[in-house]
């Protein structure tokens, strides 16, 4: 009986030790769900990513979780960025991925990323190790931290720089679903790289690029005649200075429609008259100039201002609180996402 008790006691201790050893892995799997798995004894986590040119038959590759987040971060922020700004962006990326996984049936993400090899080729061997460590540190130091709003993952858009203020989701999208994405003063964005850019188009080029929404409203005569500077008018701007509506001839469209059609860097723009048509060439060579301010859609976090805030001593938490006021930082996931 004593021997049996000793054997049972030994089994209980052994089982307890196994649980202690495997606890970090178990927590990770429960926190991240079935879509993030451990592949080796070291506990490295991997995520399924849809890759168009993958050698895998189903176009899905398994990528190391930390390298994947670091690779996305590397594609969005310079290696010269401040650590606290990189950490803030790492939280936004992670939240974005968890949100995508939460809404995905196959638990496969689609965000593109820079591999170690691609980044090393881009940076050069001498600089690669130092810069890559900054990216992985930002991922590891924020661990499983994500942004929540009302017990669900927050929507976490970001852009390179605003036109001086970030935009309100309620104004842009016409919904009160994202009250934490509001107008934020970002005067430091005025100093951002390529903050102001000027583009020149002929009226014929614009007519062709915008044909999807111009054709429906313009009759044959207008389409044949073409457009002139008087046909372009900004009708309204939102409170951050981005174009809400503009008129092109008889067509009224949104600033974002126009920006997307012309691949402009920002929806904050103005018009000025360019070169007139050369004699005998009608409107084919007449030009209009478009001046843009900012880079990106203007919603959520400005990466430029986030980096400047970090230089001034602001922490990751303070940066996120400024741009997403009303959200909460969490390191766990909802019970409904646990196995």
For 143, the token pair is: 């661990």
Determine whether 206 is exposed, middle or buried from the number of CB atoms within 10 Å of its CB (0-12, 13-18, 19+): buried
Give Cβ neighbours of residue 1 (< 8 Å, ≥ 6 apart).
Answer: none
In tens, the pLDDT along 174-206 reads 999 999 999 999 999 999 999 999 999 999 999
Determine whether 293 is exposed, middle or buried from the number of CB atoms within 10 Å of its CB (0-12, 13-18, 19+): buried
Average pLDDT over residues 260-277: 92
Rounded Cα distance between 104 and 107, Å, is 5
Place of tokens 């899905």: 60
Rounded Cα distance between 17 and 209, Å, is 66
Asked if residue 4 has pLDDT above 50, the reply is no
In tens, the pLDDT along 160-175 reads 999 999 999 999 999 9
Share of the chain above pLDDT 70, in %: 78
For 172, the token pair is: 């842009």
Q: At what angle do helices 83-103 and 316-323 cross, to 10 degrees?
A: 60
Average pLDDT over residues 120-142: 95
């Amino acid at each position: 009986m004593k021997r049996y008790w000793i054997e049972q006691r030994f089994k209980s201790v052994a089982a307890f030790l196994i649980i202690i050893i495997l606890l970090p892995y178990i927590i990770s799997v429960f926190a991240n769900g079935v879509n993030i798995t451990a592949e080796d004894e070291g506990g490295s986590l991997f995520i399924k990513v849809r890759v168009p040119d993958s050698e895998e038959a189903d176009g899905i590759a398994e990528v190391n979780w930390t390298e994947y987040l670091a690779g996305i971060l590397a594609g969005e922020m310079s290696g010269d960025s401040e650590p606290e700004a990189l950490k803030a962006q790492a939280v936004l990326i992670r939240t974005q991925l968890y949100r995508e996984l939460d809404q995905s049936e196959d638990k496969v993400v689609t965000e593109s990323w820079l591999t170690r090899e691609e980044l090393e080729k881009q940076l050069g061997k001498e600089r690669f190790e130092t810069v890559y460590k900054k990216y992985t540190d930002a991922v590891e130091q924020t661990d499983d931290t994500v942004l929540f709003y009302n017990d669900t993952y927050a929507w976490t858009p970001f852009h390179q720089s605003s036109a001086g203020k970030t935009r309100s989701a309620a104004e842009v999208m016409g919904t009160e679903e994202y009250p934490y994405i509001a107008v934020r003063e970002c005067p430091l964005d005025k100093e951002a790289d390529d903050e102001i850019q000027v583009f020149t188009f002929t009226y014929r080029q614009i007519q062709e690029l915008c044909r999807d929404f111009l054709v429906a409203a313009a009759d044959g005569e207008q389409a044949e005649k073409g457009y002139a500077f008087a046909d372009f008018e900004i009708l309204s701007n939102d409170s951050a200075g981005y174009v809400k509506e503009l008129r092109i001839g008889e067509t009224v469209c949104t600033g974002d429609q126009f920006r997307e059609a012309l691949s402009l860097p920002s929806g904050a723009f103005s018009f000025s008259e360019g070169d007139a048509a050369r004699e005998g060439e009608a409107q084919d060579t007449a030009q209009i100039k478009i001046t843009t301010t900012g880079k990106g859609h203007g919603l959520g976090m400005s990466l430029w201002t986030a980096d400047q805030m970090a230089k001034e001593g602001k922490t990751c938490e303070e940066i996120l609180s400024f741009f997403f006021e009303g959200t909460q930082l969490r390191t766990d996931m909802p019970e409904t996402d646990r196995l």
